[in-house]
Structure 1
Amino acid sequence: MKDLNRRLFLTASAAAPVALAAARPASAALGDISLKAALEGRKSSRRFATTPVPEDALLRLLWAANGGNRPESGGLTSPSWRSANDTVIYVATADGLFRHANDKNTLEKISDTDIRAASSDSAFVARAPALLIFVSDGEALRKAAEGADEQALTVGAHVNAAIAAQNVYLACVAEGLGTCLIGGAANREAIATELKLPEGSIVTYIQPVGTAR
Structure 2
Amino acid sequence: MTHPIASSESGVEYLKLPVPQSEGGMSLLTALRQRCSTRRFAPRSLDDSLLSSLLWAAFGINRPEAGLRTAPSARNWQEIDLYLALRDGLYVLEAADWRLRLVSGEDLRAATGLQDYVAEAPLNLVYVSRLSMLDETDKSVRQFYTALDTGYISQNVYLFCAASGLATVARGLLDRRTLAAAMRLAPDQRVILAQSVGYPA
Letter of the structure 2 residue corresponding to residue 20 of structure 1: L
Q: Does 1:190 align with 2:178?
A: yes
| 148, 158, 165: which one aligns with 1:169 | 158
- Superposed, 1:16-31 pairs within 5 Å as 17=7, 18-26=13-21
CA distance in 2, matches of 1:16, 1:116: 22
Q: How many residues align?
A: 192
2:10 equivalent in structure 1: none
Letter of the structure 2 residue corresponding to residue 180 of structure 1: V
1:71 equivalent in structure 2: 64
Q: Does 1:154 align with 2:143?
A: yes
2:121 equivalent in structure 1: 128
Letter of the structure 1 residue corresponding to residue 21 of structure 2: A
The CA deviation string for residues 61-118 of structure 1, in whole angstroms up to 9 with x for no partner, is 1111111111111111111112110010000011011111111332221211111112
Between Structure 1 and Structure 2, which shows a larger proportion of strand residues? 2
CA distance in 2, matches of 1:49, 1:126: 11
Is the 8 Å Cα contact of residues 86 and 123 (structure 2) preserved in structure 1?
yes
Is the 8 Å Cα contact of residues 39 and 168 (structure 2) preserved in structure 1?
yes
2:170 equivalent in structure 1: 181
2:107 equivalent in structure 1: 114
1:3 equivalent in structure 2: none
CA distance in 2, matches of 1:191, 1:140: 21
Is the 8 Å Cα contact of residues 108 and 182 (structure 2) preserved in structure 1?
yes
* Structure 2 residues not aligned, in runs of 5+: 8-12
Is the 8 Å Cα contact of residues 16 and 98 (structure 2) preserved in structure 1?
no
- Which range moved further: 99-108 or 121-130? 99-108
- Superposed, 1:2-41 pairs within 5 Å as 17=7, 18-26=13-21, 32-41=25-34
SS in 2 for 1:19: strand
| Deviation for aligned residue 1:20 | 2.2
CA distance in 2, matches of 1:111, 1:21: 17
Question: Cα distance 1:204–1:25, how it changes in 2: closer, same or farther (>3 A)?
Answer: closer
CA distance in 2, matches of 1:25, 1:122: 31
CA distance in 1, matches of 2:120, 2:20: 29
2:196 equivalent in structure 1: 208
RMSD: 1.7
CA distance in 2, matches of 1:201, 1:158: 14
Q: TM-score, normalised by structure 2?
A: 0.89
| Deviation for aligned residue 1:27 | 6.4
SS in 1 for 2:14: coil
Is the 8 Å Cα contact of residues 20 and 49 (structure 2) preserved in structure 1?
no
CA distance in 1, matches of 2:117, 2:196: 8
